[in-house]
Amino acid sequence: MATSESASLSKAVKQQYMDLPQGDKVQAMYIWIDGTGEGLRCKTRTLDSEPKTIDDLPEWNFDGSSTYQSEGSNSDMYLIPAAMFRDPFRKDPNKLVLCQVLKYNRKPLMSFIFVMYFYIYGHPFGWPSNGFPGPQGPYYCGVGADKAYGRDIVEAHYRACLYAGVQICGTNAEVMPAQWEFQVGPCEGINMGDHLWAARFILHRVCEDFGVVASFDPKPIPGNWNGAGCHTNFSTKEMREDGGLRAIEESIEKLGKRHRYHICAYDPKGGLDNARRLTGHHETSNIHEFSAGVANRGASIRIPHSVGQDKKGYFEDRRPSANCDPYAVTEAMIRTCLLSEVGEEPTEYSKLTRYSFGLK
């Protein structure tokens, strides 16, 4: 298990200070995605009063040369508040502020880099120090200390997300021991990315308090163990109405014609991370082939059995990796399914942001 020195610090001592009154001031923690496309950064500023909307939050800046986002000779980057959540660690009236990053010239940072799987890792939490636990089978949705490893962390994360206002809608233990899943949604468009990134940040902060590390690596343990994806359930109003199965099938046909384009968009290394996971085994499709099927967890696209029966609903794209950028996944699906773009070669990606949609 990967542990942190923070685990040895006294939480009781810290709480003495956290219980001190803060007057009328508010602490706002600004959060952004760094240049790796996977890492999260944060820093806190004091506000004179509680912000009611993101319009009440000031812009801020940071040193992009220390976050893989700029050269040292011109390193000022701007933080533009994009979404605001309640702070489950400092409590009300304090805030978590998810930010968009702009370059020194105030243009969006260009970098290519949801059901969400993660592991409590290093040497996976609860695994024998030398060797492996029993084979997969009893751990999925498991109950009991010998089957569910790290439930305290998952429960803390779930409640913290609810407090913050993140649209978390469920959680369960997964197939590999110490692997867990949480679901975020339903969300419309770009809000999906906002809420999933906020949920990831909160998970990392919860793990700090427990002195462990969460990993979104798509395949942290080689061999006969499941990997981790970010299975994406997608629907439009037309798909959810009577006869919507036809619209679902039309979108799947479009996705099949752009398989390589989506593979490139679905992990931060352009498909290299997913190549370790999408092998055609362990409930995955083969990265080189596109497939779809009803209730088939070995397909690229799964149509739930209930959707096949009702002839309407949604479909699940099982290809995105656990460490994907949800903005990039959303953009790719919109371009293919709604805008009917064609062509296999990916265009230059900028992370989907309110800026690229012309939204505030």
Q: What is the DSSP string of 94-142?
A: -EEEEEEEE-TTSPBP-----EEEEEEETTTTTS-SSS--SPSSS-TT-
Looking at the chain, the number of H-run helices and the number of E-run strands are: 10, 13
Domains and CATH numbers, the chain: 18-102 (3.10.20.70), 229-345 (3.30.590.10)
pLDDT 10s digits, 39-55: 999 999 999 999 999 99
Q: How far is C-alpha 323 from the chain's CA centre?
A: 7
Which residue type does 266 have? Y
Q: How far apart are CA 237 and CA 33, in angstroms?
A: 31
Return the axis-axis angle of helices 191-210 and 326-333, rounded to nearest 10°. Answer: 160
For tokens 């679902």, the residue is: 248
Those residues whose C-beta lies under 8 Å from the C-beta of residue 36, and which sit 6 or more positions away, are 68, 113, 268
Beta partners for residue 170, in sequence order: 183
Tokens of 236: 């439009």
Q: What does each of the 360 residues of the chain score in pLDDT, given as a tens digit? A: 455 667 777 888 889 999 999 999 999 999 999 999 999 999 999 999 999 999 999 999 999 999 989 876 778 899 999 999 999 999 999 999 999 999 888 887 544 435 555 655 556 777 777 778 777 888 888 889 888 888 999 999 999 999 999 999 999 999 888 899 999 999 999 999 999 999 999 999 999 999 888 999 999 888 888 999 999 999 999 999 999 999 999 999 999 999 999 999 999 999 999 999 999 999 999 999 999 999 999 999 999 999 999 999 999 999 999 999 999 999 999 999 999 998 765 544 334 443 333 333
Residue of 14, 226, 18, 194 whose CA lies nearest to 119 = 226
The pLDDT of residue 111 is: 40
pLDDT 10s digits, 16-75: 999 999 999 999 999 999 999 999 999 999 999 999 999 999 999 999 999 989 876 778
Three-class SS of residue 51? coil
Which residue type does 256 have? G
Report yes or no: 312 and 241 within 8 Å, Cβ to Cβ: yes
The H-assigned helical ranges of the chain are 11-18, 151-164, 191-210, 237-240, 245-256, 259-265, 272-277, 305-310, 326-333, 354-357
Q: How far is C-alpha 222 from the chain's CA centre?
A: 22
The pLDDT of residue 59 is: 97
Which residue type does 181 have? E
Those residues whose C-beta lies under 8 Å from the C-beta of residue 5, and which sit 6 or more positions away, are none
Report yes or no: 229 and 322 within 8 Å, Cβ to Cβ: yes
Residue of 89, 40, 95 whose CA lies nearest to 69 = 40
